[in-house]
Structure 1
């Protein structure tokens, strides 16, 4: 699975919870109110979790979610999400400019950046909204195969910026090898013009894992964690003569494990991948 933990069914859960709470008498983790008496009894339980219906609203507001005439959920370029992404990319551009200017271009010092794809280059908020923030392998694969996700704001421009300064661009995704054609088509559609061959775009190949992952993956069994898979692939990229000056991802697990001078975490409050 792409997403090992997420906010599960939050909109539906909010409706069900609301139905239970809006009756005569209210019971929550923090208080109990009886309709027959004007008194409130404080519960002695732990802290009440964040209200699930409010959380949905906060996520919608953060992305500036709207639904167009075709029923597609879209994020706003004026949203807090877009501004937070822009802040990360602005710092990255300054770092890329400086590192590219001082690179010798010799083997081992050829500058490169590595980017995750899902919610780092291609935005999937429409899938999250359509599936009520739950994950299903079948519907996710169907969604990816449509190859029509929009770009994360500003990321194609960052890629052009890096390439114009002689920085090699690589992609490293948890998507399966069988999703390669659709993902490459989608990247091309949003304006990614860099090399997207197998030497520049790395997909999870469980049927025929590369030899550099042999410590955790064989054709018989894939046992790599996300960190092992991604750090191991970055190590492989650097072994071919590159210095990864920046690694980009929306998950901590995209970035941990080393083999990058700097890491850049893009915001994503909708799911968590270990």
Structure 2
């Protein structure tokens, strides 16, 4: 998940307490940075607000789950409804023009929810514990995510995945996506993961076998450019829980999903 900043999106998390919605649209309406001259929001209250937003509860196995009646679930439902209406119209237009429409999904906290990891490790990141968590392949789906993937497919839209997960985590990612019902185009031609040992040629400006220097935006934007320019698709929509999932162009519309638990620059 390469979380570079944890609990750094203070302004966004404060907005959660007020019931603010995370909406669809351009990824340029960025939340405030962590650079501030005033006292930051109290971290204990912040965690409480996050729990309230997700409706966080531990199930019978002690796994932290989001509530289907939470504000988080309601915000996702609104975004998904808008996205379905848009995909329906955009796919129809693209097919009429003889184009090949596609959608691109991030995976972590766009399709697979990592709330249990965040709670269990107090919103801190460790590469070893994160890898163990991912490799269990038992994360719940983000509400509505699998349905949206299947909806796009049903409309004749090609589904791609563009994730910060590593190539070594491919098997677990595929298994987990199958479990939640997002069993669509899970082959290597459609699921793009970070391969720092053998980066693709289309990322040559920032990555070689000797050194990976791609920012998240360069990696994800470069992958979308490859899908459009090299593979010949028109990306009608791009979905992600981070602005860095969405910046970099090569998508007609972007959808920002809510995630107040971490920030990836």
Judge same fold: TM > 0.5, yes or no. yes
Alpha carbons 2:240, 2:256 under 8 Å: kept: yes
Residue 248 in structure 1 maps to residue 203 in structure 2: no
Q: In the TM superposition, what is the alpha-carbon distance from 1:105 to its structure 2 partner? A: 6.7
Alpha carbons 1:105, 1:111 under 8 Å: kept: no
Residue 56 in structure 1 maps to residue 47 in structure 2: yes
Structure 1 spans left out of the alignment, 5+ residues? 9-45
Alpha carbons 1:121, 1:152 under 8 Å: kept: yes
Residue 97 in structure 1 maps to residue 99 in structure 2: no
Where do 1:147-226 residues align within 5 Å? 147-226=137-216
Q: In the TM superposition, what is the alpha-carbon distance from 1:81 to its structure 2 partner? A: 0.5
The corresponding residue for 1:18 is none
Q: Whose RCO is larger (CA < 8 A, sep 6+)?
A: 2
Where do 1:1-274 residues align within 5 Å? 2-7=2-7, 47-104=38-95, 109-239=99-229, 240-274=231-265
Structure 2 spans left out of the alignment, 5+ residues? 9-36
Alpha carbons 1:120, 1:249 under 8 Å: kept: yes
The corresponding residue for 1:16 is none
Q: How far apart, CA to CA, are the structure 2 residues paired with 1:128 and 1:121?
A: 16
Q: In the TM superposition, what is the alpha-carbon distance from 1:52 to its structure 2 partner? A: 1.2
- Point out the structure with max Rg over C-alpha: 1
The structure-2 alpha-carbon separation of the partners of 1:263 and 1:224, relative to structure 1 and needing over 3 Å to count, comes to same
Q: How far apart, CA to CA, are the structure 1 residues paired with 2:155 and 2:236?
A: 13
The corresponding residue for 2:18 is none
What's the TM-score, normalizing by structure 1? 0.84
Q: In the TM superposition, what is the alpha-carbon distance from 1:104 to its structure 2 partner? A: 2.9
Task: Report Cα offsets for 1:75-115 as digits up to 9, x if no partner.
Answer: 001100111111111111111000111223777x2000000
Q: In the TM superposition, what is the alpha-carbon distance from 1:150 to its structure 2 partner? A: 0.3
Secondary structure at 2:168 match in 1: helix
Q: How far apart, CA to CA, are the structure 1 residues paired with 2:96 and 2:185?
A: 19
Alpha carbons 2:95, 2:101 under 8 Å: kept: no
Secondary structure at 1:260 match in 2: coil
Q: How far apart, CA to CA, are the structure 2 residues paired with 1:103 and 1:247?
A: 16
